[in-house]
Amino acid sequence: MSSWDLLQEELNKPSIFRQKESLMPEFLPDRLPHREKQIRELAVFFKHLISSPGGFSQKVLIVGRVGTGKTATARIFGRDFVRFAKQKHLDIRYIHVNCYRNRTLYNVVLELARQLEVPLPSRGLSVQEMYKAVLSYLDETNTYAIVTLDEFDYFARIAGKESVYFLARTYDGYPDMIKRLNFIFITRDPTALALLDSATESYLLRHIIRFDPYTSNELYDILSYRAQLAFYEGVIDDNIIRFIAEACGRDRGGDGNARQALQVLLLAGEAAEKEGSMTITMEHVRKALSIVSPDIIRFADSILYLPLHELILLWAIVRLLRRTDKPHVKMGDVEKEYVMLCEMLNETPRRHTQVYEYITNLKRVAIINAKVSGKGHRGRTTLISIDYGPLDALERMIEDLIRKRKTEVNMFGA
Ligand SMILES: Nc1ncnc2c1ncn2[C@@H]1O[C@H](COP(=O)(O)OP(=O)(O)OP(=O)(O)O)[C@@H](O)[C@H]1O
Ligand SMILES: [Mg+2]
């Protein structure tokens, strides 16, 4: 068969997906079943922005384990709050900053300015100057904002206490200022609170919204709704949705993680499509469940925003670990592999010190382990390991992401 015929045959096959994106993690659904209580709580906490804006700067803490809908809930709340305010002729903006991607105070403030479209001079401003520009811009335009610092624990850990303090206590010492900035802090790990100053900590403890892991019944409702958007009718049976919900539900020993449950649904759908099946069977689901280990999901999440060269380096590590079948690989070998991959990808390899910094970053976000070898090895060398897997699945994800990055670069010339 010619490649043209092959392509025609594949592309003309009917699809089981009506709207595949609606199963992707970034997709923002219109409804969030079983998060009604949390949305109401948020509304109560921010009500003053409608009734008497400017009186104080609200700060709220969202705490919940992975995949419990924290990000989705904050975003949907923000979207609808802005809409409501608009009806009341109030200019309120919702800003969502991912602190995993923006780990320094400078980056967070820059992101804030960017999303608020604050005009900044092209000469480099200091953080303080930039923040001042943001605050005056809000004043001049008579605007209020709710700023969500998502995955806030990364920021707190890396940027440090003073940086958190800088943001959380924006208006301290300015009792007469109109309080235009309000914050939502999101974290999986409540011990991150210890990274705050004690006044902010005790304030936030009284303004907590908890997100519990989902039960199977809750996941069943979530999956049914999302499946309805994603698949054509008749593709997936109710019993199968129930099965996935029970495999992931907290009450059945699962993690209660909606992202994981949705991923199973997506992978099962993809497996069915690959086989040319017009329905999703239990076998497809079983296969999907075996791939979707919590480790893999966490991995997929944490590599999503890595810079290209950190990805290439990670790829080098995974390839070497697979090839040698050893528990760890040496820094020197990783670097050689990295240089080789860079050549293959037409990228200029970064220098040793930079590469070393990448390793430190990957270690800090717990994607890899790295330790300096003790005596016994000739000279000291850094040993790198990854203690979860399977590595072939990790490698596939990294490759996909690198390919995506490279095409983005080609398209946008960034
Ligand atoms: N109640 C819900 N209804 C519908 N979809 C949901 C619900 N809760 C979560 N989801 C979906 O599950 C996925 C994970 O949710 P989300 O990203 O909000 O979790 P999270 O708590 O922020 O997790 P993490 O701690 O990993 O950041 C998203 O695709 C989201 O749309
Ligand atoms: Mg999140």
Q: Does residue 69 line the site of ligand 1, with CB under 6 A?
A: yes
From ligand 1's centre to the CA of 248, what distance in Å? 14
Taking a C-beta distance cutoff of 8 angstroms, is the pair 200, 168 a contact?
A: yes
Q: Does residue 71 line the site of ligand 1, with CB under 6 A?
A: yes
CA distance 352 to 350: 7
Q: Which atom of ligand 1 is nearest to the CA of 28?
A: 31
Taking a C-beta distance cutoff of 8 angstroms, is the pair 303, 315 a contact?
A: no
From ligand 1's centre to the CA of 25, what distance in Å? 7
| Predicted TM-score of the model (pTM) | 0.77
CA distance 316 to 341: 7
In angstroms, the Cα distances linking 55 to 52, 130, 174, 178 are 6, 24, 12, 7
Q: Which atom of ligand 1 is nearest to the CA of 221?
A: 3
| Bridge partner residues of 183 (DSSP) | 59, 147
Q: Look up the CATH superfamily of 36-211.
A: P-loop containing nucleotide triphosphate hydrolases (3.40.50.300)
Q: Which of 24, 26, 68, 299 to mutate to test the pocket of ligand 1 (most atoms within 8 A of CB)?
A: 68
In 47-126, which residue ranges form alpha helices assigned H by DSSP? 48-51, 70-87, 105-116
Domain residue ranges of the chain, discontinuous segments joined by +: 3-17+214-292, 36-211, 302-412
pLDDT in tens, 340-360: 999 999 999 999 999 999 999
Q: Of the given ranges (49-53, 63-67, 291-295, 351-355), which has the lowest mean pLDDT?
A: 291-295
Taking a C-beta distance cutoff of 8 angstroms, is the pair 140, 158 a contact?
A: no
Judge whether 3-17+214-292 and 36-211 match in fold: no
From ligand 2's centre to the CA of 151, what distance in Å? 7
CATH topology (fold) of 3-17+214-292: Helicase, Ruva Protein; domain 3 (1.10.8)
Q: Does residue 389 line the site of ligand 1, with CB under 6 A?
A: no
CA distance 118 to 138: 9
Q: Does residue 29 line the site of ligand 1, with CB under 6 A?
A: yes
From ligand 2's centre to the CA of 54, what distance in Å? 28
CA distance 362 to 316: 13
Q: Is a pLDDT exceeding 50 seen at residue 217?
A: yes
CATH class of 302-412: mainly alpha
Residue-level pLDDT at 270? 92
pLDDT in tens, 86-126: 999 999 999 999 998 898 999 999 999 999 999 988 788 99
From ligand 2's centre to the CA of 320, what distance in Å? 31
Q: Does residue 148 line the site of ligand 1, with CB under 6 A?
A: no
